[in-house]
A and B are shown apart, each in its own frame.
Chain A
Amino acid sequence: MAKKVVANKEKCVGCHICELACSFFLDGVFNPKRARIRVESGYNALDLPHVCFQCENAPCAETCPVEAIVLDNGVWKVDKNKCTGCGECVDVCPYSAIFLNLTGEFAVKCELCEGIPCKEYCPNEALFLEQ
């Protein structure tokens, strides 16, 4: 089974620290719109983290017209050079866990970085690593 970050939505408190940690440790700035994990916070106590499930049969990869989403050691990664930013993967992902970057040029998703800062800084143990 593939390694992946898994979220427990019951434990998520809606602080969005995972988004800040993701953008800070991977992009060097604070900007949730760069993050590869995103939390949807409603006002009815529902906080829903969206993060890549590293599907076995990944709809994003299957849909990609230029085969830019490739499996690397059990983790789906986006080849930025191939990706055209068409956004079809974003539309088909059942977990809403792949996004277009700020300029809309290519797709971004959780590629299981080193240290997994989203998990490390989560203040309520709502994220964990499954392998």
Chain B
Amino acid sequence: MIGGYAGKYLDVDLSTGKVDVRLLDKEMVEKYVGGGGFIAKILWDQLPPNADPLGWENILIITTGPMTATLAPTGGSWYVGFKSPATGIYGEGRGGGYFGPELKFAGYDTVILRGRSPEPVYLYIEDDKVEILPADELWGKDFFKTVDMLEEKYKGVRVLGIGPAGENLVKFACLMSDRYRAAGRGGAGAVMGSKNLKAIAVRGSKDINVADKEGFIKALKDANKTIFEHPATAKLLPDYGTSSLVNGMSAFGAFPTRNHRSGVFESAEKISGETMAETILVKTRGCYSCNIKCTRYTMVREGEYAGVESEGPEYETINAFGARCGIDNLEAIAMANMNANRLGLETISTGTLIAFAMELYEEGLLSKDECNGLELNFGNHQAMNRLLEDIAYRRGLGDILAEGVKEAAVKIGRGSEKYAMHVKGLELTATEPRAAQDSGLGHAVASRGGDHLRPWSPAYTLFSFGSEELGLGGTPDPIVPDDKARVVALMQRVSTFTDMNGMCKFTVLCNTLAPSQLAHLYTTITGISFTAEDVMQSAARVWNLQRALNTIKFGITSADDTLPHRFLNETAPDGPAKGKVVELDKMKKEYYSLEGWDDNGVPRRERILELGLDFVAEELGK
């Protein structure tokens, strides 16, 4: 018996209403583990390369990993995969909360959603009962209301779904679960909306088995000990959440400010985790099976935003709605965060779009009339909150911004492309790459475009969280390109693996758990023998399969592995990286060579064969 997995998946055709229950394939498990591995393999095998991302032929995959719904630390993850409407390439995201484990308790590792329902529907799963039901009453409702209505109908149910942004096909609408958890950068919510699917409600009562119980307890105790001793997972994240990074990142000159003009925000302290703890923090929480506990539950008690309550805002959200928009009002950021959650807007991209519009307004490229009558200066938090809703409902300028920053710049013209902060159409994130060169490389080559988490290498290059097992030691210099390709490649491996196995990246983000510990947990739960090398190799296999999808099927070339104009041509105006641009070409060349990719960025045949991806080799050079 293979432990950890539920062993079955659902294949749902929304066009016909047909639901099939299928057994999980052993080879699928052994070679691709779960999460992003399952997603990449299913998309490779089943997605027509030229599929319209918002057409019936796109496939939306909701999946888990073998650690999901177990005691493995942070074993609460679910993942979503699709062809992205924002980028036209590989799309993937990871969510926490409670939905993923509940899906497994219902007996399913994965749900594949195909086609397009003729009418709005939701999917209801309760163990062996799977129903596609009319969603007339839910359609048009925000996500909070959607959760309330489904919970009232089915006691103890866990809900994943979309808000109005997804229904309105906003290209960066995300999936939401459990009210406040989000996933699916690049428009998973729009894909779900295009399928006329509002929500998935699930409750389950089945067992998840463990192959080697005694061995697992040992692996678990060892991993927990490391988590409770490592400064990132024992102190920073539990004490101040992800926003513990705000002050440090600004001091490093790596906290993007005013649409990435600078990496130093003069008012960082006012929007920091420390300030949050003293003002709007109500309670510390954790996702399912999480012993890191980074979630903040917050409530604004007074002033114009009184009554706003939500989980978060997280580090990325604080930067996106805060520094990047020149806003130092934490309560206004909390408002934007709550509304993004309610409306189903992904906060990183939404903040990037608003910061982009603010810079165009200040540069005189957009008039007040064109900005829905808003004085869209950096720092105007009332305008930011108004524009956020206009994006979700596609009103005026919001309709243009809802296309994503790459397409919005094309629509606006007037030289605005220069201010569009994205890679391959996915908006950039809360790390200033001139101050952490590795992060420039990471963003440029990641599978889903401007990715902030695969890897978040500044944990090592800025904060010196190293790893003996990975060979990352000492105090690296973040503003030189040397050795950064190696750092990025290594850290990509471990974060890719935690995006496959059902755990949260925060167990490896700051190199807390080592590959050998991940291997030990995986081996004892599943009964499939894995070494640290197998962890790295399976992650490399999945990473390269994602790359093969992008290059062979979706037409990505080396020219797409680039960064916005600003980082390559404008020097950082202040902070430790003052006078620097990103030296991308040197790092990229080294990275391609380490990965075994040719000058066009396509994985070489020998690399593909070495990773056991023979079916990819067959497509090479066709």
Chain A residues in the interface with B (C-beta under 8 A)? 13-17, 20-21, 24, 27-34, 41, 43-45, 47, 102, 121, 123-124
Q: Which of B284-329 contact A (CB under 8 A)?
A: 284-293, 295, 297, 299, 309
Residues on A with C-beta less than 8 A from B299 are 45
Contact flag A41-B309 (CB < 8 Å), given A21-B71, A31-B207 = no
B270 CB to closest chain A CB (Å) equals 24
CA distance A15 to B543 in the complex (A): 30
A13 touches B206 (CB 8 A): no
B213 touches A28 (CB 8 A): yes
B105 touches A17 (CB 8 A): no
Residues on A with C-beta less than 8 A from B289 are 15-17, 20
Sample of 18 more A-B contacts, CB < 8 Å, known A27-B207, A123-B286: A13-B286, A13-B295, A15-B287, A16-B289, A17-B71, A17-B289, A17-B291, A21-B71, A30-B207, A30-B210, A31-B205, A31-B206, A31-B207, A33-B105, A33-B205, A41-B98, A45-B285, A124-B293
Total count of chain B residues near the partner, CB < 8 A: 34
Residues on A with C-beta less than 8 A from B393 are none
B207 touches A47 (CB 8 A): no
Residues on B with C-beta less than 8 A from A13 are 283-286, 290, 293, 295
A30 touches B291 (CB 8 A): no
Residues on B with C-beta less than 8 A from A29 are 207-210
Contact flag A44-B309 (CB < 8 Å), given A33-B205, A123-B291, A123-B293 = yes
B125 CB to closest chain A CB (Å) equals 15
B78 CB to closest chain A CB (Å) equals 15
Residues on A with C-beta less than 8 A from B180 are 43
A10 CB to closest chain B CB (Å) equals 8
B105 touches A32 (CB 8 A): yes
7 A-B pairs with least C-beta separation: A123-B291, A29-B207, A15-B286, A45-B297, A30-B208, A13-B286, A45-B283
From B179, B209, B282, B288, A16 is in contact (CB under 8 Å) with: B288
Contact flag A24-B71 (CB < 8 Å), given A13-B285, A45-B283, A123-B291 = yes
Residues on B with C-beta less than 8 A from A47 are 285
B293 touches A30 (CB 8 A): no
B510 at the interface (CB under 8 A from A): no
Residues on B with C-beta less than 8 A from A32 are 105
CA distance A15 to B75 in the complex (A): 10
CA distance A115 to B138 in the complex (A): 46
B391 at the interface (CB under 8 A from A): no
B309 touches A121 (CB 8 A): no
Q: Which of B57-113 contact A (CB under 8 A)?
A: 69-71, 76, 98, 105
Q: Which residue of B lies closest to A27 (CB)?
A: B207
A38 CB to closest chain B CB (Å) equals 10
- Among A15, A24, A27, A31, the one with the most B-chain Cβ atoms within 10 Å of its Cβ is A15
B147 at the interface (CB under 8 A from A): yes
Q: Which residue of B lies closest to A31 (CB)?
A: B207
CA distance A16 to B101 in the complex (A): 11
Contact flag A20-B297 (CB < 8 Å), given A13-B284, A15-B287, A30-B208 = no
CA distance A124 to B274 in the complex (A): 20
B542 CB to closest chain A CB (Å) equals 25
B207 touches A43 (CB 8 A): no
Residues on B with C-beta less than 8 A from A34 are 207
Q: Which of B196-255 contact A (CB under 8 A)?
A: 205-210, 213, 224
CA distance A75 to B208 in the complex (A): 29
Residues on B with C-beta less than 8 A from A124 are 284, 286, 293
Q: Which residue of B lies closest to A44 (CB)?
A: B309
CA distance A124 to B290 in the complex (A): 10
Residues on A with C-beta less than 8 A from B224 are 121
B169 CB to closest chain A CB (Å) equals 27
Contact flag A20-B205 (CB < 8 Å), given A29-B210, A45-B282, A47-B285 = no
CA distance A28 to B70 in the complex (A): 12
B308 CB to closest chain A CB (Å) equals 13
Q: List 30 A-B contacts (CB under 8 A).
A: A13-B283, A13-B285, A15-B287, A15-B290, A15-B291, A17-B289, A17-B291, A20-B69, A20-B71, A24-B210, A28-B210, A28-B213, A29-B207, A30-B69, A30-B207, A31-B105, A31-B205, A31-B207, A31-B208, A34-B207, A43-B178, A45-B282, A45-B285, A45-B297, A45-B299, A102-B205, A123-B286, A123-B291, A124-B284, A124-B293
Residues on A with C-beta less than 8 A from B209 are 29-30
A115 CB to closest chain B CB (Å) equals 11
Residues on B with C-beta less than 8 A from A28 are 210, 213
